[in-house]
Structure 1
């Protein structure tokens, strides 16, 4: 009886560890508080028209771990306020994002909860010749949800976007620095770097093109930690319905390190302008080109 009880405790502890290390979510993958691939299809280097926007990016992924897959659903509802204020010639924008995650590790029962809230400010500049650049500074706040990263993270993003002739050519670097690399339960969190890439073209109301993203743990002083990382590629299609812009894309890992399997993930994004400055030119539909 004692041996059986010990095995049950050991199995439960192993499941908890796997949930932290193998969860296909923004809170465990490569130690990244920012889900790799979450800004694919957007053009965050360019300033938004003055207004308030709601964006929700939802995804479901399955990683080919054995004996059963590791699955997760991640929702990233956010509000972005593009203010009329300028900072050194760039538009000042504010971002609030509240992740919600549900996951099943290697066939175990699904667990769900709220992730770390992101609060950030961003300044976006038009550099000329349809080239744009933005810098975002913010923080992922501490979380009490046990299945996600719990420690606060200083978060920075550097994005460059070309949006001329209906193109969206964007590279977005997402960099996270943990204030404390150890959780209360002893889990180690490495600093992380993500890169989201977009190369889409608009044809009337349609948008199509290839996308890709990568993520990696940065070097650490912890010799027992196995650094994680991956590179994924895919394709995106979008359609402008007028009051809402929908985008869908599918990505597949082509390289992975210490994840025990490759992941396939489907994504769906809805972008809704809640309010836009009435003085913006009509018929431009800037939300589709600029974000």
Structure 2
């Protein structure tokens, strides 16, 4: 029996890349998986039911349980339908892995409103909407007396936490928002038996291959037999552990890449200046710059 036997999971953006690896591993560990993917291009345009269905077929061929979902998680109604499908198909929901995302990179001075809105919507709202409907389900279950051991794993990014990347103001802002959302949700949902964490993964995906200044690094070939530090499968074991019923970790954000996992901390004091009376502009200039 795997570590997730009997648990029901949703993985968004699970048709390719990191999300696909999450879905495959969760299923191998015994979870029944709703494989969500709209099937769009890197920039979010278009749709294709094929990627989600292909992952479902991989899981079922290996003896696992899975169903495809192509709802738009950036839509409140789409997210509701996704959660409802998990409950109706598999009898409940224990794990939500928010992973779906797109890129529309541009420098701040040239970024269009549509580029900004699209990325913020898919990433930040695309996390908040499934989280909302899953939380409402878990709240109702808790109030009905159910003993929940649920888990949410959100997907932040190095770009929004410890490694800001020029050309990704929209993406970085969304990912920083997801990290903050994670901490707030962890505080709110603990009373219902729900843990909430986030990961900031670094791996080779179609999005990172398209990231300015980084594509060549991720595209570098790895000699046969050597450890591929950028393979997306390296990310999923942490997600599987955070999803387990016996894991107690909550309210954390972890950077994960290859063989390394680092706990991240948010904004904190690094230096303080104080005044015995009201500040003057001159005082601030002398002491801060």
Please confirm whether the aligned pair reaches a TM-score higher than 0.5, indicating the same fold. Answer: no
Q: What range is the shorter-chain TM-score in?
A: 0.3 to 0.5
TM-score normalised to structure 1 length: 0.35
> Which structure has more RCO (C-alpha within 8 Å, separation ≥ 6)?
1
TM-score normalised to structure 2 length: 0.36
